[in-house]
Every structure is written in C-alpha cells, then in structure tokens.
Amino acid sequence: MVPFFYFITKRTIKMKKHNIYLIHGYTASPDSNWFQNFKQSLENDFIEVSILEMPDSLAPKLNDWVSYMENHIKEIDENTIFIGHSLGCISILNFLNKFKTTKIKGLFLISGFVESSPIPELIEFLKPKLNYNHLKEITKTRVAISAIDDDIIPYQYSKTMAEKLDAKFTLLKKGKHFIDRDGFTKFPFLVKEISTLVNLNK
C-alpha cells in the first residue's frame, strides 16, 4: 500500500506559486474595504497576494498609476491573477494593454467600467484605446462582478465591460460598491472564486 503522505507530497510538488495582484480604486488604500481580509483568507505557501498602494488615490493620474504598476509588478506568468476594484479595473486593463506578456491565469474585475464613467474625475483613465483582442488573448479566465444595488458604478457599466472582454458576468443581489462604509469588509464569494481557480477547494 502506498503511504497517504505520498499523495500529499506529490500534489504539493506539482502546485506552482500563484501571484495575485490586487489594485484598489479611487480614494482607497490597501487597508480599505475587504482587501486585508481577502489577503489573509487566501495566502499560504503557494499563494502570494500583493495589494499595491496606488499613488495619490484622492487625485489619481493615469500615467502615475500605470508607471507604479510597471515598477512594482515584477513577476507575470501563467499563474498570475489580477484583481481590480472600481478604478483598479481600468487601471489593470491599461497596464496589460501595453504590457506584452505571456498568458496570465485570471482577471477579476469588481465594479469596473470602460469607455464611460459616472465619475468625471476619472475620465482620464478612459482615454487610451484598449486592444480588447490582446486583452482576451493573454487572459485565460476573465470574470466581472457587480451588484444590482451598486450606487457608485451602476452595474450596467460593469456589464458593458464584461461584454467588451467576453468575460463571465456575475451580478450579485446585494453588495452595493463592495466598500467598508456600507459594511462590506469581507468578500467570501470572491475568495471562493479564486480558490476554485487555483484548485484549492476540497
């Protein structure tokens, strides 16, 4: 009989390190909303979650944000997952749009928007023309998530984004803009989605 620990060891050896990069949104920080709980829920020996602290989130500039990502995201491969929240979504797309990379594992966009925004201060982020074919080609899994009651970025904006990217669109019954001022400090649905993608579910 083969010892049980053999199977554990064999599975462990096969598992590759997953790098998850989370990009927050307008006026936010790595300590906002559900971000730290998400990090704590997923990180282990095979998953590293990096929550970038984007520059001047109260008055964000497109070039500054993309440059910051270029300087702080060093490892991108087939086990890389990007997660964006609100402004973080279009920021990731602008970054990947100019980054000639190999395929990444996943792209999860929460309450995002492309091509139009209900927040005038963020219009600058919509100016670059996105190459949707390129973005689809380099991303194996694409998921957009919104809530019916989102009162900051109405879900129709996220639905349009999903259609442009041929992404799976998940519309939750509640959650608003998924921010802490509405009591949203945990995101178990997203944790489960990511866990499934990296084959951690039992």
Q: Is 150 a catalytic residue?
A: yes
Residue-wise pLDDT tens digits, 66-96: 999 999 998 899 999 999 999 999 999 999 9
Q: Say if residues 63 and 2 touch (Cβ distance below 8 Å).
A: no
Residue-wise pLDDT tens digits, 51-70: 999 999 999 999 999 999 99
Q: Is 72 a catalytic residue?
A: no
Superfamily of domain 17-45+59-197: Alpha/Beta hydrolase fold, catalytic domain (3.40.50.1820)
- Which amino acid would we find at residue 28? A
Catalytic residue among 111, 146, 150, 158: 150
Q: Is 177 a catalytic residue?
A: yes
Q: What is the pLDDT of residue 11?
A: 44
Task: Kindly report the average pLDDT of the chain as a whole number.
Answer: 91
- pLDDT above 60 for 199: yes
Residue-wise pLDDT tens digits, 3-50: 444 444 444 445 678 999 999 999 999 999 999 999 999 999 999 999
**DSSP secondary structure string for all residues of 7-28:** HHHHHHHHPPPEEEEEE--TT-
Give ∠ CA 121-122-125 in degrees, rounded to 5.
145
d(CA 96, CA 100): 7
Catalytic residue among 18, 24, 85, 177: 177
Q: Delimit the domains of the chain by residue range.
A: 17-45+59-197
Give me the sheet containing 47-52, strands edge to edge: 47-52, 18-23, 80-85, 104-110, 139-147, 168-172
Catalytic residue among 32, 86, 111, 117: 86
Best CA proximity match to 87, nearest among 50, 121, 131 = 121
